[in-house]
């Protein structure tokens, strides 16, 4: 039972990493048989993983066609996502700083990923791990702020999975980690105004880093 659970998890992680690092290109077909060969496992954990990824908006299942990687978000959708984030996340950070506990701060510090900065040679593995960490970090901040509707609204966009697929770039990770540190520092100081400001800066810089992805 435990073995089966960990195999399912491993298969999920392997496909997730391929999607985030664009080894499976946005919009391209995903063939279960190919994954069976590549990962040397049966169809069952692969179908399970694809179902989970479908729920996360990374995979699309089409009748009679099968699975494909979700298409790249459009520039318009990207602009809308960042507008939504700028409306909600700086205020959530402001609120979170006001009600921050030591326990919540410790959880956020762990989630921020700043503890594991030098992640070894596997750049792409690191990149996909950071995509998830970033999603968890931002979600936890909104959770601390305490508005479940805002949390659901943001979670439903699967923002982090989409934006990290726009390009693969080590700079995206490094700079974002610096900005996460600034957010944590504001939380540690219980400085609500600073938290709002550095969150706004983080989102604005993230936007600027990823915008060139639409140039080509
Ligand atoms: Zn972030």
Model pLDDT for residues 136-147, shown as the tens digit of each residue: 999 999 999 999
The tokens describing 120, both together, are 């070894």
- How many residues would you count in the chain? 216
CA of 92 to the centre of ligand 1 (A): 14
Half-sphere exposure of 38 (CA within 13 A, CB side): 13
CA of 38 to the centre of ligand 1 (A): 32
CA of 7 to the centre of ligand 1 (A): 29
Residue whose pair of structure tokens reads 């990962």 in the numeric block: 39
Q: How many CB atoms lie within 10 A of CB 145?
A: 22
Question: Rounded distance, CA 136 to CA 64, Å?
Answer: 34
CA of 67 to the centre of ligand 1 (A): 29
Q: What is the pLDDT of residues 177-189, one digit of tens each?
A: 899 999 999 999 9
pLDDT, greater one: 93 or 216: 93
CA of 216 to the centre of ligand 1 (A): 25
CA of 131 to the centre of ligand 1 (A): 9
Largest CA distance in the chain: 55
CA of 175 to the centre of ligand 1 (A): 10
Question: Rounded distance, CA 103 to CA 94, Å?
Answer: 18
Whole-structure pTM value = 0.84
């Amino acid at each position: 039972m435990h073995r089966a659970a960990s195999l399912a998890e491993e298969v999920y992680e392997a496909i997730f990493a391929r999607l985030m690092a664009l080894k499976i290109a946005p919009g391209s077909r995903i063939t279960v048989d190919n994954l069976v060969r590549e990962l040397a496992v049966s169809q069952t954990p692969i179908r399970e993983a694809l179902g989970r990824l479908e729920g996360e908006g990374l995979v699309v299942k089409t009748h009679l066609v099968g699975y494909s990687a979700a298409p790249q978000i459009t520039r318009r959708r990207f602009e809308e996502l960042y507008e939504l984030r700028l409306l909600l996340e700086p205020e959530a950070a402001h609120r979170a700083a006001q009600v921050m506990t030591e326990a919540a701060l410790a959880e956020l510090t762990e989630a921020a990923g700043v503890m594991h900065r030098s992640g070894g040679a596997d750049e792409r593995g690191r990149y996909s791990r950071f995509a998830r960490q970033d999603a968890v970090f931002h979600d936890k901040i909104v959770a601390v702020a305490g508005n479940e509707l805002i949390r659901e609204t943001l979670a439903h966009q699967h923002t982090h999975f989409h934006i990290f697929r726009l390009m693969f770039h080590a700079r995206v990770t490094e700079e974002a980690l610096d900005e996460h540190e600034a957010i944590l520092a504001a939380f540690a100081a219980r400085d609500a105004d600073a938290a709002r400001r550095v969150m706004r800066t983080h989102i604005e810089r993230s936007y600027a880093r990823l915008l060139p992805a639409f140039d080509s």
